[in-house]
Chains A and B, each alone.
Chain A
Amino acid sequence: MSEDLVTLTIDGKEVTVPAGTLIIRAAEQLGIEIPRFCDHPMLDPVGACRQCYVQIEGQPKLFTSCTTTVAPAMVVRTQNTSDEAHTAQVANLEFLLLNHPLDCPICDRGGECPLQDQALAFGPGESRYREAKRVYEKPLHLSALVNLDRERCVLCARCTRFCDQISGDRFIELYARGASQQVAIAPGEDFRSPFSGNTVQICPVGALTATPYRFVARPFDLSTADSVCPHCSAGCNLKIDMRRGEVVRQLARDNLEVNDGWACDKGRFAFGFPDSPDRITTPLVRDHGLEPASFGEVFGRIAEWTEGKRVAFLSGGRLTDEESYALSKLARTVFATNDLDHRRHLEGGELELLWAAGLTGVTYERVERAKAIVLVGLDAEQEVPILHLRIRKAARRGAKVFVIHHRRTRLHDVATHILCRPDEVAGLLAELAAGTSAAPAGLAGAALREAGNDGVMLIGAGALDRPGAADASLAAASATGARITMVSRRANDHGALRAGVHPGLLPGGRPIAVPEDRAEVELVWGQIPNYRPGRNARQILEACARREIDVLFLVGVDPLRDFPDAALALRALRNVPRKVVQSLELGSLEPYADAFLPAAAFVEKDGHFTTWEGRSQRLKPLRPAPGIALPEWEIFASLALACGSDLGFETLEELQEELGGLVAARESVPDWPPSPAPPPMAQGLELFTYPLLVDEGRLSEGAARLKAALQEEAFVEVHPQDAAATGLAAGGRAILRTEAGQAELPVRVTEHIARGTVFVPFNQPGLAANTLLSGTFATAVTLEPAHAAAGPSGGPADAQPEEVPA
């Protein structure tokens, strides 16, 4: 594509930019700073603040450089070379400050405020205004997270444009006009957007402030470092502010390839967990009770327990790439076991293999440029929020978006939703692949086909639990020519898979059962003693329950809370003789742990997280780990030594060199047999669940304001016809019964869920939904109205015995 270029002169310097560029952007390329408030590169121009005046030769009036595009041979003078522009800017700043309270000493923005900075650099220094200033009640609580001090506002409309153009959560608006114009929210409405914190970050003054940071620190108190969000696989780049070693604020860091300039509220505000009072920072070993010990002692005990025994590993999705790799190597070379897994869903077949091998090739950029996007089993807003924003951006640019899911998602204003029962996903994908029907699935297929290489399919990990869905989506992608990728929620699910924390896959998505692939890894590792594919997470827990495993390692995972079968997890923990927990804290595993190994948190780690796309992003250690907690790769390496073996690397660099060679994207993957179809769904109502963004997960512990703003109590969502058939009423309560358990929940009735399906969130206050599940995230359910005042309710407490098992 040949772009039309335009050459113009700004302050006597020539610059060539694509046609359509705004003058303010062209000036930036020359390093010329024009003062601005409303201009924001991610938002549509509006020209609200009038600060960015420049003079254009031959034009009678000044122009706002943030709304005026360049023209060939245009001659622009900024405040640097035009007295008129300079005078206008000075006057405008005086005007903007007329009603401003000048309360910088008590304003959170003080010291990092564009208004302060620009008033100093470009302003008059004096005001001629002597009258009374406009006053407002301060602050308005827009939500538990965001406050508005209206008298500080310069009416730039950045916050309202963000809500309109980026998140689509239009809860705040400019009200009234003239001197009474103000940002406002409707009484009784809450700024209930998981992206609300971005408005605070882009407010160019101190009008919007975030409760968790209000009056907490001054910029000069803070040490700031770059990091990556640990909360989901979006991989948002963050700036982390610490005060005396404690994290006090997280901000989004611009990275156009990943998060643009945004972060979701979870990434922004759930930063307390590394400083949780429950954090344990020394190793523990159980003699009479759990008692502190040295790493050496604990390693010694583990070596005794594991010698010649059957060992298995479960991990979560939050180890770094390096740690995942060390774990994969430890399990296979030291303990000769392939019983290791980080997943919670069923096998993903060839789709998962492609994802593991780094062959999917879908990136944020691809999503943004896509002409058609189909999401399958993915609630992007709740699971990978920044991907959700990219999809919205694509939709704004004209992409056709379709969502195949069981309930409507927050893409509803920009996407066609195809609501279906869990067992209908594969059928719809076949219809999509055919692309001939006039039903929405057919239209989605036609749109993908038309988009060709610019078609994208995003398959949520949740879809893998649906019979045949993984294979059907791959088939649909090849039929339509769309690019396809899996999207899994947790921060480093992808890294764990790429590094081989998987019973059948070695690093780089190499199936252990395929001799050529195995040989490539053996070149680095030496011979792999056991190459029979191992057990997946479910099978590991079943084997534990049957006492076929002697030592179970739980690395940053709590199956009692995370695994979709609480009863099985409980039986497993009771029946496996030795449990080694490696994490930040013990939590509900306390009664079961025989040893505890304290791990470093993400702010204390060096390493990488891999985004859903496959982009590996560096985490830097921002502070020393507390106590004697260690990065987990070091724990694995030392444990190997204690067991008389050796992982072969002493430094992170050595590890990275090994890992880099093995996870480099490969040319192709071996053929993969079609996945065995999970048992067909029963007739009747089908319950499904997935975690909402702000839930009871451990990484949100202590984020009280975030929860106050965004967390919902557990509920059950049903279709009006199903509600009628089962005698449920909106606002009433229902008793849910599944094979695994029962719960009583408040009822929501909505047309935006497929008939025959019932949704409960996975882990909200009031219900740990895994007590209702039997191994997958969907199950048959019956509903009836609850008549008694308060019935039994499933919850973690039901799953955990009081007594400490021997």
Chain B
Amino acid sequence: MAVFEGATLAEARAIVARYPAGRERSSVMPLLYLGQSIEGRVTREALREVAELLGLTTAEIESVASFYTMIRLRPTGTHVVTVCTNLACALRGAKDVYEAAHRASDIPHGAELSEDGVISLHEEECMGACERAPVVAIDFAYHDEISPARVTELIQALRRGEVPAPSRGTAPRDFRHASRVLAGLEGDPA
């Protein structure tokens, strides 16, 4: 295995062992997050290896991976910025927020990854925080009631290497770190 090897393989096995025998497939999501925390996205290699670890077909894994936007199958920046553009947020100006974010990130037209590789930006469906619309998430941490000016500041901070504090909780260091947290793993990789 190329992605899950050494200490990572041990962590993967420990994830599988969290679930009762016969229900190993429940570990698909955390394993995908673990892979994503290593490579910054889920590569084809990682999909195959998760399938192998669980005795499933790659199609079964990719079906799950391609369903969830939190799992990134394409090349991805250090940080992932998502702008909710669903109804509540749209009504409160999310379109402008998205466009400001796009400009601030220096992303070529039609693309979603910034030239410097720092930011991946995409629109998202309802993130479940409509009462704080419009909402932006940076590496899954929420920033409430964001204006075009504020999103520009956030992105400039990211591009300077800072990690802006979210509206609640603590911010993950970057997208890989966020993925590791979502895999249910404490601390940094061994």
> How far is it, in angstroms, between the C-alpha of A184 and the C-alpha of B73 when the chains are bound?
15
Contact between chains at A172 and B59 (CB < 8 Å):
yes
- Could you say which residues of chain A place their CB within 8 Å of the CB of B47? 186
Whether a CB of chain A sits under 8 angstroms from the CB of B26 is no
- Could you say which residues of chain A place their CB within 8 Å of the CB of B63? 173-175, 184
Q: List 11 A-B contacts (CB under 8 A).
A: A171-B57, A171-B59, A173-B59, A174-B63, A176-B67, A184-B62, A186-B48, A186-B57, A186-B59, A186-B61, A186-B62
> How far is it, in angstroms, between the C-alpha of A598 and the C-alpha of B47 when the chains are bound?
55
- Could you say which residues of chain A place their CB within 8 Å of the CB of B60? 170, 173
Whether a CB of chain A sits under 8 angstroms from the CB of B66 is yes
Contact between chains at B59 and A189 (CB < 8 Å):
yes
Chain A nearest CB: distance from B177 CB in Å?
26
One of A174, A176, A177, A189 near B58 (C-beta < 8 A): A189
Q: Which of A359-417 contact B (CB under 8 A)?
A: 413
Main SS at interface, chain B: helix
> How far is it, in angstroms, between the C-alpha of A187 and the C-alpha of B55 when the chains are bound?
17
Whether a CB of chain B sits under 8 angstroms from the CB of A684 is no
- Could you say which residues of chain A place their CB within 8 Å of the CB of B57? 170-171, 173, 186, 189
Contact between chains at A185 and B59 (CB < 8 Å):
yes
Contact between chains at A170 and B66 (CB < 8 Å):
no
> How far is it, in angstroms, between the C-alpha of A45 and the C-alpha of B156 when the chains are bound?
50
Select from chain A the residue with minimum beta-carbon distance to B69. A177
- Could you say which residues of chain B place their CB within 8 Å of the CB of A413? 55
**Interface residues of B toward A: which range?**
10 to 19
- Could you say which residues of chain B place their CB within 8 Å of the CB of A186? 47-48, 51, 57-59, 61-62
Whether a CB of chain A sits under 8 angstroms from the CB of B56 is yes
Q: Which of B162-180 contact A (CB under 8 A)?
A: none
Bits for B48-85, please: 1 = Cβ < 8 Å to A, else 0.
10010001111111110011000000000000000000
- Could you say which residues of chain B place their CB within 8 Å of the CB of A680? none
Q: Which of A158-176 contact B (CB under 8 A)?
A: 170-176
Contact between chains at B59 and A184 (CB < 8 Å):
yes
- Could you say which residues of chain B place their CB within 8 Å of the CB of A177? 66-67
10 closest residue pairs by CB, A with B? A186-B58, A173-B63, A173-B59, A175-B66, A186-B59, A176-B66, A170-B57, A170-B60, A186-B62, A177-B67
Whether a CB of chain A sits under 8 angstroms from the CB of B44 is yes
With contacts A170-B60, A173-B59 known, is A187 near B66, CB below 8 A?
A: no
With contacts A186-B47, A187-B44 known, is A175 near B58, CB below 8 A?
A: no
> How far is it, in angstroms, between the C-alpha of A174 and the C-alpha of B62 when the chains are bound?
9
Chain A nearest CB: distance from B49 CB in Å?
12
Chain B nearest CB: distance from A653 CB in Å?
52
Whether a CB of chain B sits under 8 angstroms from the CB of A277 is no
Chain B nearest CB: distance from A752 CB in Å?
12
- Could you say which residues of chain A place their CB within 8 Å of the CB of B66? 175-177, 184
Chain A nearest CB: distance from B1 CB in Å?
16
- Could you say which residues of chain A place their CB within 8 Å of the CB of B56? 170
Name the residue among B47, B56, B59 with the largest chain A CB count within 10 angstroms: B59
* Interface residue total, chain A, C-beta cutoff 8 A: 15
> How far is it, in angstroms, between the C-alpha of A184 and the C-alpha of B57 when the chains are bound?
12
Chain A nearest CB: distance from B54 CB in Å?
12
> How far is it, in angstroms, between the C-alpha of A176 and the C-alpha of B66 when the chains are bound?
5
Chain B nearest CB: distance from A181 CB in Å?
9
Chain B nearest CB: distance from A458 CB in Å?
24
Whether a CB of chain B sits under 8 angstroms from the CB of A105 is no
> How far is it, in angstroms, between the C-alpha of A24 and the C-alpha of B66 when the chains are bound?
33
Chain A residues with CB under 8 Å of chain B are 170-177, 184-189, 413
> How far is it, in angstroms, between the C-alpha of A174 and the C-alpha of B63 when the chains are bound?
6
> How far is it, in angstroms, between the C-alpha of A187 and the C-alpha of B44 when the chains are bound?
9
Chain A nearest CB: distance from B102 CB in Å?
21
Chain B nearest CB: distance from A521 CB in Å?
54
> How far is it, in angstroms, between the C-alpha of A48 and the C-alpha of B60 when the chains are bound?
18
> How far is it, in angstroms, between the C-alpha of A186 and the C-alpha of B48 when the chains are bound?
9
> How far is it, in angstroms, between the C-alpha of A173 and the C-alpha of B61 when the chains are bound?
9
Select from chain A the residue with minimum beta-carbon distance to B67. A177
- 20 further contact pairs, Cβ within 8 A, besides A186-B59, A188-B58: A170-B56, A170-B57, A172-B59, A173-B57, A173-B59, A173-B63, A174-B63, A175-B62, A176-B66, A176-B67, A177-B66, A177-B67, A184-B62, A184-B66, A185-B59, A186-B47, A186-B51, A187-B44, A188-B48, A189-B57
- Could you say which residues of chain A place their CB within 8 Å of the CB of B59? 170-173, 184-186, 189
> How far is it, in angstroms, between the C-alpha of A175 and the C-alpha of B71 when the chains are bound?
13
> How far is it, in angstroms, between the C-alpha of A754 and the C-alpha of B63 when the chains are bound?
35
Select from chain B the residue with minimum beta-carbon distance to A182. B66
- Could you say which residues of chain A place their CB within 8 Å of the CB of B62? 173, 175, 184, 186
> How far is it, in angstroms, between the C-alpha of A543 and the C-alpha of B159 when the chains are bound?
89
> How far is it, in angstroms, between the C-alpha of A188 and the C-alpha of B59 when the chains are bound?
10
> How far is it, in angstroms, between the C-alpha of A184 and the C-alpha of B56 when the chains are bound?
15
> How far is it, in angstroms, between the C-alpha of A184 and the C-alpha of B61 when the chains are bound?
12
- Could you say which residues of chain B place their CB within 8 Å of the CB of A184? 59, 62-63, 66
- Could you say which residues of chain A place their CB within 8 Å of the CB of B44? 187
Chain B nearest CB: distance from A641 CB in Å?
60
Select from chain A the residue with minimum beta-carbon distance to B65. A175
Q: Which of B62-114 contact A (CB under 8 A)?
A: 62-63, 66-67
> How far is it, in angstroms, between the C-alpha of A171 and the C-alpha of B44 when the chains are bound?
16
- Could you say which residues of chain A place their CB within 8 Å of the CB of B48? 186, 188
Name the residue among A175, A177, A184, A186 with the largest chain B CB count within 10 angstroms: A186
Select from chain B the residue with minimum beta-carbon distance to A412. B55
- Could you say which residues of chain B place their CB within 8 Å of the CB of A188? 48, 58
> How far is it, in angstroms, between the C-alpha of A188 and the C-alpha of B52 when the chains are bound?
14
- Could you say which residues of chain B place their CB within 8 Å of the CB of A172? 59
Chain A nearest CB: distance from B3 CB in Å?
16
Chain B nearest CB: distance from A390 CB in Å?
22
Q: Which of B17-64 contact A (CB under 8 A)?
A: 44, 47-48, 51, 55-63
Name the residue among B44, B48, B56, B60 with the largest chain A CB count within 10 angstroms: B60
Select from chain B the residue with minimum beta-carbon distance to A169. B57
- Could you say which residues of chain B place their CB within 8 Å of the CB of A174? 63
> How far is it, in angstroms, between the C-alpha of A171 and the C-alpha of B58 when the chains are bound?
8
Chain A nearest CB: distance from B78 CB in Å?
25
> How far is it, in angstroms, between the C-alpha of A171 and the C-alpha of B51 when the chains are bound?
12
Select from chain A the residue with minimum beta-carbon distance to B58. A186
Chain B nearest CB: distance from A691 CB in Å?
26
Chain B nearest CB: distance from A193 CB in Å?
10
- Could you say which residues of chain A place their CB within 8 Å of the CB of B61? 186
> How far is it, in angstroms, between the C-alpha of A170 and the C-alpha of B66 when the chains are bound?
16
> How far is it, in angstroms, between the C-alpha of A185 and the C-alpha of B60 when the chains are bound?
9
> How far is it, in angstroms, between the C-alpha of A172 and the C-alpha of B57 when the chains are bound?
9
> How far is it, in angstroms, between the C-alpha of A184 and the C-alpha of B59 when the chains are bound?
7
Chain A nearest CB: distance from B190 CB in Å?
29
> How far is it, in angstroms, between the C-alpha of A189 and the C-alpha of B57 when the chains are bound?
8
Select from chain A the residue with minimum beta-carbon distance to B64. A173
Chain A nearest CB: distance from B171 CB in Å?
28
Select from chain B the residue with minimum beta-carbon distance to A174. B63
> How far is it, in angstroms, between the C-alpha of A171 and the C-alpha of B55 when the chains are bound?
12
Chain B nearest CB: distance from A719 CB in Å?
19
> How far is it, in angstroms, between the C-alpha of A172 and the C-alpha of B67 when the chains are bound?
15
Select from chain A the residue with minimum beta-carbon distance to B60. A170
> How far is it, in angstroms, between the C-alpha of A188 and the C-alpha of B47 when the chains are bound?
12
> How far is it, in angstroms, between the C-alpha of A506 and the C-alpha of B59 when the chains are bound?
53
Chain B nearest CB: distance from A768 CB in Å?
33
- Could you say which residues of chain B place their CB within 8 Å of the CB of A173? 57, 59-60, 62-63
> How far is it, in angstroms, between the C-alpha of A189 and the C-alpha of B58 when the chains are bound?
8
Chain A nearest CB: distance from B58 CB in Å?
3
Select from chain A the residue with minimum beta-carbon distance to B63. A173
Chain B nearest CB: distance from A664 CB in Å?
46
Name the residue among B44, B47, B48, B67 with the largest chain A CB count within 10 angstroms: B67
Name the residue among A173, A174, A187 with the largest chain B CB count within 10 angstroms: A173
